Amino acid sequence: MQMKTIYTSFEDAVKNIQDGSTLMVGGFGLVGIPENLILALVDLGVKHLTVISNNCGVDDWGLGLLLKNKQIDKMIGSYVGENKEFERQVLAGELEVELTPQGTLAERIRAGGAGIPAFYTPAGVGTPVAESGEIRVFHDKEYLLQTALKADFSLIRAAVGVCRKFSLQQDGEKF
């Protein structure tokens, strides 16, 4: 039996996150965000992160702190919010943003966890979201292809957490 790693500090929990990592970060706005893990990432100073989260916090808290330090290169989320630094970086071409409808974002994350590489949804058809996507018609209705989202690390707020590492294999491909 393999021993589970027990982290005794927030800094210890994020120490393996490296430059260029993709992170899924829990929370909705500022509610339920893993604020202490985010602060530990600020101190760690990792750069070129891709962050998948509902939004990017506010200017001086949450993911906004990573943004302020220019640690995030790409943000995948469903809400832009009131973050002025976010707006400034987007308009200056310093931050890549992929906006996704809230339900589609949740389904993309679920699909990634289930080993489903992509799925079709009617959400976004006829909008700028669909401009570069693949559209197919099923039963006389248009659907947009959305790819699954996967991350190197997930940060959540919890009192106690257990992580079970497993490997799913389908048709010779590991997920």
CB 25 within 8 A of CB 35: no
Domain assignment present for residue 90? The answer is yes
**Domain assignment present for 14:** yes
CA distance 38 to 140: 46
Q: Look at residue 3 and tell me if it is in a domain.
A: no
Q: What is the pTM of this model?
A: 0.86
Q: DSSP 3-state helix, strand, coil percentages of the chain (rounded to 5)? A: 25, 25, 50
The pLDDT tens digits of the residues spanning 43-101 come to 999 999 999 999 998 888 999 999 999 999 999 999 887 889 999 999 999 999 999 99
| 171 occurs within a structural domain | no
Range of the domain at 44: 10-116+149-165
What b-and-e string marks burial along 25-58, b requiring 16 or more CB atoms within 10 Å of the CB? bebeeeeebbbebbbbbeebebeebbbbbbbbbb
State residue 84's pLDDT score.
92
Average pLDDT over residues 23-36: 91
Q: Extract the tokens encoding 63.
A: 């993911």
> Does some domain include residue 130?
no
82 lies in a domain? yes
Strand pairing class (141-147; 118-121): antiparallel
Query: Does some domain include residue 135?
Result: no
Q: Is residue 89 a part of any domain in this protein? A: yes
What confidence tens digit (pLDDT) does each residue in 96-142 have? 999 999 999 999 999 999 999 999 999 999 998 888 899 999 999 99
The CATH number covering residue 54 comes to: 3.40.1080.10
* Number of domains forming the structure of the chain: 1
